[in-house]
Amino acid sequence: MKEHLINFSAKLQSANFQKTYPLDYCIPVYHAVSNFHLPHLKHIIKYKSEKEFEKDLDILSKNFQFVNWDEFKDFRNGNFKPKKKIALLTFDDGLSEFHDVVVPILERKGIYAINFINPKFIGNTDLMYRCKASLLIERIVQSEKKPLNVFDDIIYNDQFKKLLIRKINAIKYSEPEKLDDLAKNFRESFSDYLIKYKPYMTFEQLKKVTQKGFGISNHGFDHPLYHELNLEEQIRNTSQSYDYLNENDFITESFAFPFTDFGVKREFFEKIFSTKDLFCSFGSAGLKRDSFEKNLQRIPMENGKDTNQILKEEIAYFNLKKLLNKNTIHRK
């Protein structure tokens, strides 16, 4: 029902976003851009090809003025008067495609981006747990070509395959041993994968993109799902990453929640904003206001649709919720 309503009202939306976009800022969020098959991302993120990404940028450029981090802060403080509504381009997870693919495109187009990273994974010393899940799912999908070594007599059963994938997708941040055990059983080695494919930027690459003018900032130390942590653990994970960024001269003024800020209480925001030089934090709940005004919601761009469609749907949904007084996230 919700989908139908959004689809229907999105069809009525004009593509003149300067007029129809309801907020004065637009913050898209991406993870990777690649023309290749990336097994560690494939089953968790619908990343875009270079061509699709460039098309997104062209649509955004037509409707918004891209700003860098300093302009963004000035704008929020009322000291920067843009010609159009502004857009701040953001990436999460510090993946190597940012260095290899995204930065060259952005340099050519003169567009700034900030990447929110997890210090734990810099230099490919470990892989985020959802990427491990994606690798295991890829093994299951490819099991006809390369036997899994377990379940080989039942894996051909589609129902069983689906169940196994569902179980793997349900493994939590606090259960890394489950992923490691499965990997052992599937004779899949995460460490070999890290050595061979180097999914994350190295420290040198982070420094290199910084020298080119791009931003590197806080995404938590090792990408937990924040509402599964208690307050103390939330603060610790954020601070550990903050300290690393601080010691290495990256941007400490912002923090983007890994996955989602859903269910994170006001207490956490009050605590991190009182103890750190934080300017703002970022969620990724789409086009929405947040009752904690320094927490800004970003628009996820990796759902298989192009910018025109994404923005039309976000605006339609925003306006529908406005009618019901539900376009602001309230925090207890």
* DSSP bridge pairs for 281: 255, 295
Instruction: Give the range of 96-104, 149-157, 252-260, 277-285 binding Zn ion by CB under 5 A.
Output: 252-260
Compare residues 92 and 261 and give the one whose CB is closer to Zn ion.
92
Q: Half-sphere exposure of residue 141, counting CA atoms within 13 Å on the CB side? A: 12
**Residue 302 binding Zn ion, by CB under 5 A:** no
Compare residues 92 and 126 and give the one whose CB is closer to Zn ion.
92
Q: Which of 277, 172, 294 is nearest to 223 (CA)?
A: 172
Tell me, residue by residue from 40 to 79, as one string, x for binding to Zn ion by CB under 5 A and - for no binding. Answer: ----------------------------------------
* DSSP bridge pairs for 66: 87
- CA–CA separation, 118 and 164 (whole Å): 28
**Residue 94 binding Zn ion, by CB under 5 A:** no
Place of tokens 């023309």: 35
- Closest residue to Zn ion, based on beta-carbon distance: 92
Q: What count of other Cβ atoms lies within 10 Å of the Cβ of residue 78?
A: 7
Buried b / exposed e over 37-75, threshold 16 CB at 10 Å, is ebbbbbbbbebbeeebbeebbebbeebbbbbbbebbbeb
In the complex, the smallest distance separating the C-beta of residue 237 from Zn ion, rounded to whole angstroms, is 13
Q: What count of other Cβ atoms lies within 10 Å of the Cβ of residue 152?
A: 10
Q: Show the DSSP H helices in 49-92 as ranges.
A: 50-63, 69-76
**Residue 92 binding Zn ion, by CB under 5 A:** yes
Tell me, residue by residue from 203 to 242, as one string, x for binding to Zn ion by CB under 5 A and - for no binding. Answer: ----------------------------------------
Residues in contact with Zn ion, total (CB under 5 A)? 3
Instruction: Give the range of 104-112, 237-245, 257-265, 318-326 binding Zn ion by CB under 5 A.
Output: 257-265
Instruction: Give the range of 11-19, 231-239, 251-259, 314-322 binding Zn ion by CB under 5 A.
Output: 251-259
Compare residues 75 and 116 and give the one whose CB is closer to Zn ion.
116
In the complex, the smallest distance separating the C-beta of residue 71 from Zn ion, rounded to whole angstroms, is 24
Compare residues 44 and 150 and give the one whose CB is closer to Zn ion.
44
**Residue 119 binding Zn ion, by CB under 5 A:** no
SS3 30: strand
Compare residues 148 and 258 and give the one whose CB is closer to Zn ion.
258
Q: Show the DSSP H helices in 21-49 as ranges.
A: 39-42
**Residue 258 binding Zn ion, by CB under 5 A:** yes
The answer to whether 244 and 219 have CB atoms below 8 angstroms apart is no
Question: Applying CB under 5 A, which residues contact Zn ion?
Answer: 92-93, 258
